[in-house]
Amino acid sequence: MPESFFILSKDYLELAADEITTITRTFDRFAKIKIISNLIVVQSKTNWKKISERATFVKTSGQILRKMSGLFLDEENFQVLKNTQSFVCRVINLSSNQLDVLELEKSMGDMISKFTQAKVNLKNPEITVYLIFTNTENFFGFSEKSENKKRPKKSKKYPHELDWKLTRVMINLTGLKKGETVCDPFCGTGTTLLESESMGINAIGIDFDEKMCNLTKENLGLNNYNSKVLKSDFQELVKISNNFDAIVTDLPYGKSSKTSEKPEEILKRFMSIVPKNKKIAVMFKKELDPKMKLKGLKKYQIYRHKSLTRTILIK
């Protein structure tokens, strides 16, 4: 079965690794997954591009051609370059050994040039060939040139709006598939809706502030998205529970909240009405966690700055 590799950013590494695992299992529940530091190796029938397109914190990804006991490579390893015009070699050292990366990349490039008609192109290669070194295993693989992901556009941004990367991770951690529907009952400027639609997931936004509802609609229109926006209290969840599969939200706090109700009271009321058969990813102030004693599948602590740490609860 094909193997893929994913090199993750070390920002929020546990969150990033769990995201890849969840996305992979969403497509293929029988996939085998191995984690080596910030390298994820996936054995699955699902193409690596399909997984990478949805992921948030992937720096580099591709297909593994073979595991290596040493540096020996031969002509068979370079068949992927048979009809390729240009390539570049990259060495990724995740081991504790000191390697001369530039020399290894040059040597590998010279070797490939002998076996193929492809030329080295450092700026815009058709294929990137990788040697990945870890303390336990080494891998030889490649990735093809792909277009940069287009980010959803917004007409305005607010300082307290939900970070798009964390939003995307939360959506992915619920395990939603294309065609399913997510609901954000505190949708604000519509970040959850924008990220969901960019992944082919339907969305419903709820907000009691008419200004925020209008801004969300404006942002959706900029991207030709069709998510529904409802001006209502978050208790609307109960009425429309048959219309969505998961809830992803960032609970309002401080200046981002237009209500006089305390954040702990909002969280308490929110958790009390959430339909029990729905997947949930909710973010809230870390200080609320000990008070509420909320339980779920997993919790993550997200440090934002010295006075604010957020908790993401997956349930």
Are residues 296 and 288 in contact, defined by beta-carbon separation less than 8 angstroms?
Answer: no
Are residues 155 and 174 in contact, defined by beta-carbon separation less than 8 angstroms?
Answer: no
Q: Residue 306 is part of a domain; what is its CATH number?
A: 3.40.50.150
Residue whose token pair is 């959850």: 192
pLDDT value for 156: 79
Asked if residue 159 is part of any domain, the answer here is no
Domain identity same for 104 and 190: no
Asked if residue 305 is part of any domain, the answer here is yes
Enumerate residue ranges in the chain where pLDDT < 70: 67-79, 253-260, 305-307
Q: Residue 77 is part of a domain; what is its CATH number?
A: 3.30.2130.30
Asked if residue 156 is part of any domain, the answer here is no
Are residues 129 and 111 in contact, defined by beta-carbon separation less than 8 angstroms?
Answer: no
Residue 182's domain comprises: 164-314
Asked if residue 131 is part of any domain, the answer here is yes
pLDDT value for 82: 74
pLDDT value for 28: 96
Domain identity same for 13 and 122: yes
pLDDT value for 67: 63
pLDDT value for 185: 96
Domain identity same for 28 and 84: yes
Domain identity same for 61 and 16: yes
Domain identity same for 129 and 220: no
Q: List residues bridging with 3 in a β-sheet.
A: 43, 64
- Cα(220)–Cα(206) distance, rounded to whole angstroms? 14
3-class SS of residue 232: coil
Residues 168, 162, 186, 212, CA torsion sign? negative
Domain identity same for 25 and 138: yes
Domain identity same for 14 and 127: yes
Q: pTM of the entire structure? A: 0.90
Asked if residue 157 is part of any domain, the answer here is no
Q: Using DSSP bridges, classify how beta strands 58-68 and 3-8 pair: parallel, antiparallel or unpaired.
A: antiparallel
Domain identity same for 303 and 170: yes
Q: List residues bridging with 40 in a β-sheet.
A: 6, 35
Residue whose token pair is 């995201």: 19
Are residues 3 and 34 in contact, defined by beta-carbon separation less than 8 angstroms?
Answer: no
Domain identity same for 175 and 297: yes
Question: Tokens standing for 39?
Answer: 């390298």
Domain identity same for 94 and 212: no
Radius of gyration of the chain (CA): 22
Q: Which of 264, 164, 156 is nearest to 214 (CA)?
A: 156
Asked if residue 153 is part of any domain, the answer here is no
Q: How many domains does the chain have?
A: 2
